[in-house]
Structure 1
Protein backbone atom coordinates (compact mmCIF):
# COMPACT_ATOMS: atom_id res chain seq x y z
CA UNK A 1 0.00 0.00 0.00
CA UNK A 2 2.77 2.44 0.99
CA UNK A 3 4.73 1.63 -2.16
CA UNK A 4 1.65 2.23 -4.32
CA UNK A 5 1.02 5.64 -2.75
CA UNK A 6 4.66 6.62 -3.12
CA UNK A 7 4.60 5.50 -6.75
CA UNK A 8 1.48 7.62 -7.33
CA UNK A 9 3.16 10.58 -5.71
CA UNK A 10 6.22 10.18 -7.91
CA UNK A 11 4.02 9.97 -10.99
CA UNK A 12 2.20 13.15 -10.00
CA UNK A 13 5.47 14.96 -9.43
CA UNK A 14 6.64 13.75 -12.80
CA UNK A 15 3.44 15.08 -14.37
CA UNK A 16 4.04 18.46 -12.79
CA UNK A 17 7.58 18.62 -14.16
CA UNK A 18 6.42 17.58 -17.63
CA UNK A 19 3.57 20.10 -17.49
CA UNK A 20 5.96 22.90 -16.62
CA UNK A 21 8.19 21.89 -19.51
CA UNK A 22 5.24 21.90 -21.90
CA UNK A 23 4.09 25.32 -20.78
CA UNK A 24 7.57 26.66 -21.36
CA UNK A 25 7.98 24.81 -24.64
CA UNK A 26 6.48 27.45 -26.96
CA UNK A 27 8.88 30.08 -25.60
CA UNK A 28 11.81 27.70 -25.97
CA UNK A 29 10.77 26.74 -29.48
CA UNK A 30 10.35 30.39 -30.38
CA UNK A 31 13.91 31.30 -29.48
CA UNK A 32 16.09 31.76 -32.50
CA UNK A 33 19.63 31.82 -33.83
CA UNK A 34 22.47 32.62 -31.48
CA UNK A 35 24.01 36.05 -31.66
CA UNK A 36 20.62 37.79 -31.63
CA UNK A 37 19.46 39.94 -28.75
CA UNK A 38 16.59 38.28 -26.83
CA UNK A 39 13.13 39.67 -27.50
CA UNK A 40 12.03 39.14 -23.89
CA UNK A 41 8.39 39.36 -24.94
CA UNK A 42 5.56 37.81 -22.94
CA UNK A 43 2.22 36.50 -24.16
CA UNK A 44 0.80 37.15 -20.69
CA UNK A 45 1.23 40.92 -21.22
CA UNK A 46 -2.14 41.82 -22.74
CA UNK A 47 -1.18 45.50 -23.01
CA UNK A 48 1.86 44.57 -25.09
CA UNK A 49 -0.29 42.38 -27.35
CA UNK A 50 -2.84 45.15 -27.85
CA UNK A 51 -0.15 47.70 -28.65
CA UNK A 52 1.61 45.20 -30.92
CA UNK A 53 -1.65 44.66 -32.81
CA UNK A 54 -2.14 48.42 -33.21
CA UNK A 55 1.42 48.83 -34.50
CA UNK A 56 1.13 45.83 -36.80
CA UNK A 57 -2.06 47.05 -38.45
CA UNK A 58 -0.75 50.60 -38.85
CA UNK A 59 2.71 49.74 -40.18
CA UNK A 60 2.68 46.17 -41.52
CA UNK A 61 -0.81 45.20 -42.71
CA UNK A 62 -0.61 47.35 -45.82
CA UNK A 63 1.73 44.75 -47.35
CA UNK A 64 1.44 41.63 -45.18
CA UNK A 65 -1.60 39.44 -44.53
CA UNK A 66 -2.49 37.22 -41.58
CA UNK A 67 -4.46 34.61 -43.46
CA UNK A 68 -4.78 32.26 -40.48
CA UNK A 69 -6.30 34.93 -38.20
CA UNK A 70 -9.76 36.46 -38.10
CA UNK A 71 -10.59 39.90 -36.76
CA UNK A 72 -13.17 38.36 -34.44
CA UNK A 73 -10.58 36.00 -32.91
CA UNK A 74 -8.16 38.87 -32.33
CA UNK A 75 -10.89 40.85 -30.58
CA UNK A 76 -11.79 37.91 -28.32
CA UNK A 77 -8.24 36.97 -27.37
CA UNK A 78 -6.94 40.51 -26.92
CA UNK A 79 -10.02 41.63 -24.93
CA UNK A 80 -11.09 44.23 -27.47
CA UNK A 81 -14.56 45.15 -28.68
CA UNK A 82 -15.77 44.69 -32.24
CA UNK A 83 -15.89 48.47 -32.68
CA UNK A 84 -12.29 48.87 -31.47
CA UNK A 85 -11.04 46.25 -33.90
CA UNK A 86 -13.07 47.39 -36.89
CA UNK A 87 -12.22 51.07 -36.42
CA UNK A 88 -8.52 50.72 -35.58
CA UNK A 89 -7.37 47.50 -37.27
CA UNK A 90 -9.58 46.83 -40.27
CA UNK A 91 -8.38 49.02 -43.14
CA UNK A 92 -9.43 46.59 -45.86
CA UNK A 93 -13.20 46.79 -45.38
CA UNK A 94 -13.80 43.06 -44.85
CA UNK A 95 -16.34 41.73 -42.36
CA UNK A 96 -15.57 41.23 -38.66
CA UNK A 97 -15.54 37.44 -38.97
CA UNK A 98 -13.25 37.30 -42.00
CA UNK A 99 -9.54 36.57 -42.19
CA UNK A 100 -6.99 39.40 -42.12
CA UNK A 101 -5.92 40.29 -45.68
CA UNK A 102 -3.15 42.56 -46.86
CA UNK A 103 -4.29 45.85 -48.30
CA UNK A 104 -1.74 45.53 -51.12
CA UNK A 105 -2.47 43.43 -54.16
CA UNK A 106 0.14 40.58 -54.24
CA UNK A 107 0.77 41.27 -57.93
CA UNK A 108 1.66 44.87 -57.11
CA UNK A 109 3.97 43.69 -54.34
CA UNK A 110 5.80 41.41 -56.75
CA UNK A 111 6.16 44.22 -59.28
CA UNK A 112 7.39 46.80 -56.74
CA UNK A 113 9.54 44.62 -54.47
CA UNK A 114 10.48 41.71 -56.73
CA UNK A 115 8.41 39.27 -54.66
CA UNK A 116 4.97 39.36 -53.07
CA UNK A 117 5.22 40.21 -49.34
CA UNK A 118 4.75 36.97 -47.36
CA UNK A 119 1.89 36.16 -45.03
CA UNK A 120 3.07 36.62 -41.43
CA UNK A 121 0.66 34.32 -39.60
CA UNK A 122 3.33 31.72 -38.80
CA UNK A 123 6.45 33.87 -39.05
CA UNK A 124 7.22 33.59 -35.33
CA UNK A 125 7.13 29.79 -35.53
CA UNK A 126 9.20 29.72 -38.71
CA UNK A 127 11.90 32.20 -37.68
CA UNK A 128 11.61 32.66 -33.92
CA UNK A 129 10.76 35.72 -31.85
CA UNK A 130 14.37 36.82 -31.45
CA UNK A 131 14.75 36.86 -35.23
CA UNK A 132 11.69 39.09 -35.69
CA UNK A 133 12.70 41.43 -32.88
CA UNK A 134 16.21 41.91 -34.25
CA UNK A 135 15.03 42.11 -37.85
CA UNK A 136 12.72 45.02 -37.05
CA UNK A 137 15.64 46.90 -35.47
CA UNK A 138 18.29 46.13 -38.10
CA UNK A 139 17.32 48.12 -41.18
CA UNK A 140 19.94 50.53 -42.44
CA UNK A 141 20.40 52.90 -45.36
CA UNK A 142 22.09 51.27 -48.35
CA UNK A 143 22.14 53.24 -51.62
CA UNK A 144 23.28 50.13 -53.50
CA UNK A 145 19.89 48.47 -52.95
CA UNK A 146 16.90 49.16 -55.26
CA UNK A 147 14.80 50.65 -52.44
CA UNK A 148 17.72 52.19 -50.58
CA UNK A 149 17.44 49.86 -47.59
CA UNK A 150 19.19 46.75 -46.33
CA UNK A 151 19.06 44.63 -43.19
CA UNK A 152 21.86 42.97 -41.22
CA UNK A 153 19.64 40.11 -40.01
CA UNK A 154 18.29 39.37 -43.50
CA UNK A 155 20.88 40.76 -45.96
CA UNK A 156 19.50 42.11 -49.22
CA UNK A 157 15.91 42.01 -48.00
CA UNK A 158 13.62 43.48 -50.64
CA UNK A 159 11.47 45.51 -48.23
CA UNK A 160 12.04 49.05 -46.93
CA UNK A 161 11.98 49.95 -43.25
CA UNK A 162 8.30 50.56 -42.38
CA UNK A 163 9.23 51.94 -38.96
CA UNK A 164 11.91 54.45 -40.00
CA UNK A 165 9.94 57.47 -38.79
CA UNK A 166 9.88 55.96 -35.30
CA UNK A 167 13.41 54.55 -35.25
CA UNK A 168 15.17 57.14 -37.35
CA UNK A 169 17.65 56.59 -40.17
CA UNK A 170 20.71 54.54 -39.36
CA UNK A 171 23.75 53.46 -41.30
CA UNK A 172 25.82 50.31 -40.74
CA UNK A 173 29.56 50.00 -40.31
CA UNK A 174 31.28 46.86 -41.57
CA UNK A 175 34.79 45.59 -40.87
CA UNK A 176 36.63 45.02 -44.17
CA UNK A 177 37.49 41.55 -45.37
CA UNK A 178 40.82 40.28 -44.10
CA UNK A 179 42.44 37.13 -45.43
CA UNK A 180 39.90 34.32 -45.23
CA UNK A 181 37.59 36.44 -43.08
CA UNK A 182 34.77 38.12 -45.06
CA UNK A 183 33.54 41.61 -44.26
CA UNK A 184 31.26 41.57 -41.23
CA UNK A 185 28.89 43.93 -39.47
CA UNK A 186 30.28 45.99 -36.59
CA UNK A 187 27.74 48.58 -35.46
CA UNK A 188 24.92 50.93 -36.39
CA UNK A 189 25.28 54.69 -36.44
CA UNK A 190 22.24 56.95 -36.13
CA UNK A 191 22.13 59.24 -39.15
CA UNK A 192 18.86 61.00 -38.37
CA UNK A 193 16.86 60.69 -35.14
CA UNK A 194 13.33 59.34 -35.26
CA UNK A 195 10.34 60.31 -33.15
CA UNK A 196 11.27 57.75 -30.47
CA UNK A 197 14.23 57.11 -28.25
CA UNK A 198 16.14 53.83 -28.58
CA UNK A 199 14.35 52.41 -25.51
CA UNK A 200 10.94 53.41 -26.83
CA UNK A 201 11.64 51.85 -30.20
CA UNK A 202 12.85 48.64 -28.56
CA UNK A 203 9.40 48.41 -26.95
CA UNK A 204 7.76 48.93 -30.35
CA UNK A 205 9.79 46.06 -31.83
CA UNK A 206 9.06 43.89 -28.78
CA UNK A 207 5.30 44.52 -28.91
CA UNK A 208 5.06 43.74 -32.63
CA UNK A 209 7.09 40.59 -32.01
CA UNK A 210 4.76 39.65 -29.16
CA UNK A 211 1.70 40.07 -31.39
CA UNK A 212 3.25 37.94 -34.14
CA UNK A 213 4.08 35.21 -31.62
CA UNK A 214 0.41 35.27 -30.63
CA UNK A 215 -0.78 35.00 -34.25
CA UNK A 216 1.52 32.02 -34.80
CA UNK A 217 -0.28 30.06 -32.07
CA UNK A 218 -3.36 31.83 -30.63
CA UNK A 219 -4.22 28.80 -28.48
CA UNK A 220 -1.05 29.41 -26.48
CA UNK A 221 -2.83 32.19 -24.58
CA UNK A 222 -5.51 29.88 -23.24
CA UNK A 223 -3.20 26.90 -22.88
CA UNK A 224 -0.86 28.88 -20.68
CA UNK A 225 -3.63 30.17 -18.42
CA UNK A 226 -5.26 26.72 -18.13
CA UNK A 227 -1.88 25.05 -17.63
CA UNK A 228 -1.15 27.16 -14.57
CA UNK A 229 -4.38 26.02 -12.90
CA UNK A 230 -3.66 22.40 -13.82
CA UNK A 231 -0.23 22.62 -12.22
CA UNK A 232 -1.68 24.21 -9.09
CA UNK A 233 -4.24 21.40 -8.87
CA UNK A 234 -1.61 18.72 -9.31
CA UNK A 235 0.58 20.35 -6.67
CA UNK A 236 -2.29 20.51 -4.21
CA UNK A 237 -3.33 16.93 -4.97
CA UNK A 238 0.24 15.73 -4.46
CA UNK A 239 0.42 17.41 -1.06
CA UNK A 240 -2.93 15.93 -0.05
CA UNK A 241 -1.80 12.48 -1.16
CA UNK A 242 1.43 12.84 0.82
CA UNK A 243 -0.30 13.96 4.03
CA UNK A 244 -2.94 11.24 3.60
CA UNK A 245 -0.17 8.68 3.37
CA UNK A 246 1.46 10.11 6.50
CA UNK A 247 -1.82 10.00 8.43
CA UNK A 248 -2.75 6.53 7.18
CA UNK A 249 0.60 4.94 8.15
CA UNK A 250 1.47 6.95 11.29
CA UNK A 251 0.57 4.06 13.63
CA UNK A 252 2.33 1.41 11.58
CA UNK A 253 5.78 0.55 12.89
Structure 2
Protein backbone atom coordinates (compact mmCIF):
# COMPACT_ATOMS: atom_id res chain seq x y z
CA UNK A 1 0.00 0.00 0.00
CA UNK A 2 1.50 3.31 -1.03
CA UNK A 3 1.61 6.36 1.17
CA UNK A 4 -1.29 7.77 -0.86
CA UNK A 5 -3.44 4.77 0.08
CA UNK A 6 -3.07 5.30 3.82
CA UNK A 7 -6.37 7.21 3.73
CA UNK A 8 -8.31 4.29 2.23
CA UNK A 9 -10.04 3.59 5.57
CA UNK A 10 -11.11 7.22 6.04
CA UNK A 11 -12.40 8.41 2.68
CA UNK A 12 -16.07 7.86 1.70
CA UNK A 13 -16.93 4.55 0.09
CA UNK A 14 -17.81 6.28 -3.18
CA UNK A 15 -14.25 7.59 -3.36
CA UNK A 16 -12.90 4.08 -2.74
CA UNK A 17 -14.95 2.72 -5.64
CA UNK A 18 -13.73 5.51 -7.92
CA UNK A 19 -10.12 4.94 -6.91
CA UNK A 20 -10.27 1.26 -7.84
CA UNK A 21 -12.72 1.60 -10.76
CA UNK A 22 -15.20 -0.73 -9.10
CA UNK A 23 -18.71 -0.80 -7.62
CA UNK A 24 -20.41 -3.02 -5.08
CA UNK A 25 -23.20 -4.31 -7.31
CA UNK A 26 -21.18 -5.44 -10.33
CA UNK A 27 -17.59 -5.51 -9.10
CA UNK A 28 -14.80 -5.23 -11.66
CA UNK A 29 -15.22 -5.92 -15.34
CA UNK A 30 -13.29 -8.77 -16.92
CA UNK A 31 -11.60 -6.37 -19.33
CA UNK A 32 -10.34 -4.15 -16.50
CA UNK A 33 -9.10 -7.13 -14.46
CA UNK A 34 -6.55 -8.01 -17.14
CA UNK A 35 -5.07 -4.49 -17.09
CA UNK A 36 -5.11 -4.45 -13.29
CA UNK A 37 -3.21 -7.73 -13.11
CA UNK A 38 -0.53 -6.30 -15.38
CA UNK A 39 -0.31 -3.20 -13.19
CA UNK A 40 -0.45 -4.78 -9.70
CA UNK A 41 0.98 -8.23 -10.43
CA UNK A 42 -0.17 -11.47 -8.86
CA UNK A 43 -1.62 -11.64 -5.39
CA UNK A 44 1.36 -13.47 -3.92
CA UNK A 45 3.88 -12.46 -1.29
CA UNK A 46 7.45 -12.89 -2.47
CA UNK A 47 8.83 -15.83 -0.47
CA UNK A 48 11.86 -15.19 1.75
CA UNK A 49 15.17 -15.75 0.04
CA UNK A 50 17.21 -18.71 1.17
CA UNK A 51 19.75 -17.48 3.67
CA UNK A 52 23.50 -17.97 3.43
CA UNK A 53 24.12 -18.69 7.10
CA UNK A 54 27.88 -18.09 6.93
CA UNK A 55 27.35 -14.68 5.33
CA UNK A 56 24.65 -13.84 7.89
CA UNK A 57 27.01 -14.83 10.71
CA UNK A 58 29.81 -12.74 9.18
CA UNK A 59 27.49 -9.72 8.88
CA UNK A 60 26.39 -9.93 12.48
CA UNK A 61 29.89 -10.50 13.86
CA UNK A 62 32.01 -8.07 11.88
CA UNK A 63 29.84 -5.44 10.17
CA UNK A 64 28.35 -2.27 11.57
CA UNK A 65 28.95 -1.32 15.19
CA UNK A 66 30.50 -4.69 16.03
CA UNK A 67 33.60 -3.80 14.01
CA UNK A 68 34.26 -0.99 16.49
CA UNK A 69 33.77 -3.40 19.38
CA UNK A 70 36.34 -5.78 17.89
CA UNK A 71 38.79 -2.89 17.73
CA UNK A 72 38.07 -1.94 21.33
CA UNK A 73 38.50 -5.55 22.48
CA UNK A 74 41.81 -5.93 20.66
CA UNK A 75 43.10 -2.66 22.12
CA UNK A 76 42.10 -3.85 25.59
CA UNK A 77 44.10 -7.06 25.12
CA UNK A 78 47.07 -5.09 23.79
CA UNK A 79 46.87 -2.87 26.88
CA UNK A 80 47.02 -6.03 28.99
CA UNK A 81 49.89 -7.55 27.03
CA UNK A 82 52.42 -6.42 25.88
CA UNK A 83 51.82 -2.83 27.05
CA UNK A 84 50.99 -4.02 30.55
CA UNK A 85 54.59 -4.95 31.21
CA UNK A 86 55.49 -7.32 34.00
CA UNK A 87 52.47 -6.36 36.12
CA UNK A 88 49.53 -5.93 33.72
CA UNK A 89 46.14 -4.74 34.91
CA UNK A 90 43.59 -7.54 34.98
CA UNK A 91 40.92 -4.91 34.26
CA UNK A 92 42.03 -4.58 30.65
CA UNK A 93 41.87 -8.33 30.15
CA UNK A 94 38.40 -8.41 31.69
CA UNK A 95 37.17 -5.56 29.48
CA UNK A 96 38.50 -7.27 26.36
CA UNK A 97 36.77 -10.54 27.24
CA UNK A 98 33.51 -8.73 28.05
CA UNK A 99 33.59 -6.95 24.69
CA UNK A 100 34.09 -10.20 22.81
CA UNK A 101 31.28 -11.86 24.78
CA UNK A 102 28.97 -8.93 24.02
CA UNK A 103 29.77 -9.23 20.30
CA UNK A 104 29.01 -12.96 20.28
CA UNK A 105 25.81 -12.62 22.34
CA UNK A 106 24.58 -9.68 20.27
CA UNK A 107 25.26 -11.50 16.99
CA UNK A 108 23.61 -14.70 18.22
CA UNK A 109 20.53 -12.79 19.37
CA UNK A 110 20.22 -10.92 16.07
CA UNK A 111 20.62 -14.11 14.02
CA UNK A 112 18.00 -15.93 16.10
CA UNK A 113 15.57 -13.02 15.82
CA UNK A 114 16.04 -12.69 12.06
CA UNK A 115 15.68 -16.41 11.32
CA UNK A 116 12.62 -16.64 13.55
CA UNK A 117 10.99 -13.70 11.76
CA UNK A 118 11.68 -15.25 8.35
CA UNK A 119 10.20 -18.55 9.53
CA UNK A 120 7.04 -16.84 10.80
CA UNK A 121 6.58 -14.89 7.56
CA UNK A 122 7.09 -18.05 5.51
CA UNK A 123 4.48 -19.89 7.58
CA UNK A 124 1.79 -17.40 6.51
CA UNK A 125 1.89 -18.80 2.97
CA UNK A 126 0.59 -22.11 4.33
CA UNK A 127 -2.46 -20.33 5.78
CA UNK A 128 -3.38 -18.59 2.54
CA UNK A 129 -6.58 -19.78 0.86
CA UNK A 130 -6.33 -21.15 -2.65
CA UNK A 131 -9.64 -19.73 -3.89
CA UNK A 132 -11.79 -16.69 -3.20
CA UNK A 133 -15.40 -15.84 -4.01
CA UNK A 134 -15.66 -12.58 -5.94
CA UNK A 135 -18.23 -10.60 -7.85
CA UNK A 136 -17.14 -9.69 -11.38
CA UNK A 137 -19.41 -8.41 -14.14
CA UNK A 138 -22.24 -8.77 -11.64
CA UNK A 139 -21.67 -12.54 -11.33
CA UNK A 140 -20.45 -14.32 -8.21
CA UNK A 141 -17.63 -16.71 -9.03
CA UNK A 142 -14.69 -18.49 -7.44
CA UNK A 143 -11.21 -17.65 -8.65
CA UNK A 144 -7.65 -18.51 -7.53
CA UNK A 145 -6.55 -16.04 -4.88
CA UNK A 146 -3.43 -15.14 -6.85
CA UNK A 147 -5.71 -13.59 -9.51
CA UNK A 148 -7.25 -11.07 -7.10
CA UNK A 149 -6.62 -7.39 -7.82
CA UNK A 150 -7.42 -4.18 -5.93
CA UNK A 151 -11.05 -3.29 -6.58
CA UNK A 152 -12.34 -6.86 -6.51
CA UNK A 153 -15.48 -7.37 -4.41
CA UNK A 154 -14.95 -10.45 -2.24
CA UNK A 155 -17.63 -12.38 -0.36
CA UNK A 156 -16.65 -13.47 3.13
CA UNK A 157 -18.11 -16.04 5.50
CA UNK A 158 -17.19 -17.83 8.71
CA UNK A 159 -14.14 -20.07 8.31
CA UNK A 160 -12.57 -18.04 5.52
CA UNK A 161 -9.07 -16.57 5.56
CA UNK A 162 -8.91 -13.08 4.09
CA UNK A 163 -7.05 -13.39 0.77
CA UNK A 164 -5.89 -9.75 0.66
CA UNK A 165 -6.10 -6.45 2.52
CA UNK A 166 -9.63 -5.14 2.18
CA UNK A 167 -12.17 -2.57 3.36
CA UNK A 168 -15.46 -3.99 4.55
CA UNK A 169 -18.64 -3.00 2.71
CA UNK A 170 -21.20 -5.02 4.68
CA UNK A 171 -20.97 -7.13 7.81
CA UNK A 172 -23.44 -9.37 9.58
CA UNK A 173 -22.01 -10.28 12.97
CA UNK A 174 -18.58 -10.41 11.36
CA UNK A 175 -15.56 -11.04 13.58
CA UNK A 176 -11.98 -11.58 12.38
CA UNK A 177 -8.86 -12.70 14.20
CA UNK A 178 -5.57 -11.05 13.20
CA UNK A 179 -3.50 -12.37 16.09
CA UNK A 180 -0.63 -13.57 13.87
CA UNK A 181 -0.29 -10.13 12.35
CA UNK A 182 -1.21 -7.63 15.09
CA UNK A 183 -0.71 -9.67 18.27
CA UNK A 184 -4.29 -8.97 19.34
CA UNK A 185 -5.53 -12.29 20.73
CA UNK A 186 -9.24 -11.41 20.85
CA UNK A 187 -11.30 -11.39 17.64
CA UNK A 188 -12.14 -7.96 16.27
CA UNK A 189 -15.77 -7.01 15.66
CA UNK A 190 -15.90 -5.62 12.14
CA UNK A 191 -17.61 -2.34 11.24
CA UNK A 192 -18.12 -0.56 7.94
CA UNK A 193 -17.19 2.83 9.40
CA UNK A 194 -13.75 4.22 10.23
CA UNK A 195 -12.98 3.86 13.95
CA UNK A 196 -9.46 5.30 14.02
CA UNK A 197 -7.17 7.57 12.05
CA UNK A 198 -4.43 4.92 12.04
CA UNK A 199 -5.01 2.30 9.35
CA UNK A 200 -4.00 -0.67 11.50
CA UNK A 201 -6.41 0.37 14.26
CA UNK A 202 -9.55 0.92 12.22
CA UNK A 203 -12.07 -1.93 12.36
CA UNK A 204 -13.36 -1.34 8.83
CA UNK A 205 -10.11 -2.76 7.42
CA UNK A 206 -9.24 -6.44 7.16
CA UNK A 207 -5.74 -7.77 6.60
CA UNK A 208 -4.36 -10.59 4.52
CA UNK A 209 -4.20 -13.91 6.44
CA UNK A 210 -6.80 -12.84 9.06
CA UNK A 211 -9.22 -15.62 10.02
CA UNK A 212 -12.99 -15.05 9.92
CA UNK A 213 -14.31 -16.50 13.17
CA UNK A 214 -17.94 -15.46 12.85
CA UNK A 215 -20.49 -13.91 10.54
CA UNK A 216 -20.45 -12.97 6.88
CA UNK A 217 -20.03 -9.88 4.73
CA UNK A 218 -18.54 -8.26 1.66
CA UNK A 219 -15.35 -6.26 1.19
CA UNK A 220 -13.40 -4.47 -1.52
CA UNK A 221 -9.77 -5.45 -2.01
CA UNK A 222 -7.44 -2.48 -1.43
CA UNK A 223 -4.01 -4.16 -1.62
CA UNK A 224 -2.60 -7.46 -2.85
CA UNK A 225 0.65 -9.42 -2.68
CA UNK A 226 3.72 -7.50 -1.58
CA UNK A 227 1.63 -4.33 -1.21
CA UNK A 228 -0.36 -5.76 1.68
CA UNK A 229 0.64 -5.00 5.26
CA UNK A 230 1.92 -8.56 5.64
CA UNK A 231 3.80 -8.29 2.34
CA UNK A 232 5.54 -5.11 3.50
CA UNK A 233 6.43 -6.73 6.82
CA UNK A 234 7.89 -9.67 4.91
CA UNK A 235 9.94 -7.32 2.73
CA UNK A 236 11.26 -5.49 5.78
CA UNK A 237 12.17 -8.75 7.49
CA UNK A 238 13.96 -10.35 4.57
CA UNK A 239 15.90 -7.41 3.17
CA UNK A 240 19.63 -7.04 3.77
CA UNK A 241 20.71 -6.41 7.32
CA UNK A 242 22.29 -3.10 6.31
CA UNK A 243 18.80 -1.76 5.66
CA UNK A 244 17.05 -3.12 8.75
CA UNK A 245 15.40 -0.66 11.08
CA UNK A 246 16.85 -0.47 14.56
CA UNK A 247 14.57 -2.22 17.02
CA UNK A 248 14.26 -1.33 20.71
CA UNK A 249 16.25 -4.45 21.56
CA UNK A 250 19.08 -3.43 19.24
CA UNK A 251 19.00 0.09 20.66
CA UNK A 252 19.33 -1.11 24.27
CA UNK A 253 22.11 -3.56 23.38
CA UNK A 254 23.98 -0.84 21.50
CA UNK A 255 23.71 1.48 24.50
CA UNK A 256 25.22 -1.16 26.76
CA UNK A 257 27.94 -1.93 24.25
CA UNK A 258 28.72 1.77 23.85
CA UNK A 259 29.03 2.13 27.63
CA UNK A 260 31.46 -0.79 27.80
CA UNK A 261 33.46 0.58 24.86
CA UNK A 262 33.74 4.05 26.40
CA UNK A 263 34.80 2.53 29.72
CA UNK A 264 37.40 0.46 27.88
CA UNK A 265 38.83 3.45 26.02
CA UNK A 266 38.97 5.57 29.21
CA UNK A 267 40.71 2.73 31.02
CA UNK A 268 43.30 2.42 28.26
CA UNK A 269 43.94 6.19 28.22
CA UNK A 270 44.40 6.20 32.02
CA UNK A 271 46.78 3.25 31.72
CA UNK A 272 48.86 5.00 29.08
CA UNK A 273 49.01 8.23 31.09
CA UNK A 274 50.04 6.30 34.20
CA UNK A 275 52.66 4.36 32.27
CA UNK A 276 54.08 7.55 30.72
CA UNK A 277 54.17 9.21 34.13
CA UNK A 278 55.99 6.26 35.66
CA UNK A 279 58.39 6.15 32.68
CA UNK A 280 59.15 9.86 32.99
CA UNK A 281 59.73 9.55 36.73
CA UNK A 282 61.79 6.37 36.72
CA UNK A 283 63.64 6.93 33.44
CA UNK A 284 63.78 10.68 32.84
CA UNK A 285 66.31 10.27 30.04
CA UNK A 286 64.28 7.64 28.18
The TM-score, its normalising length taken from structure 1, stands at 0.32
Higher strand share: 2
The structure whose Rg is larger is 2
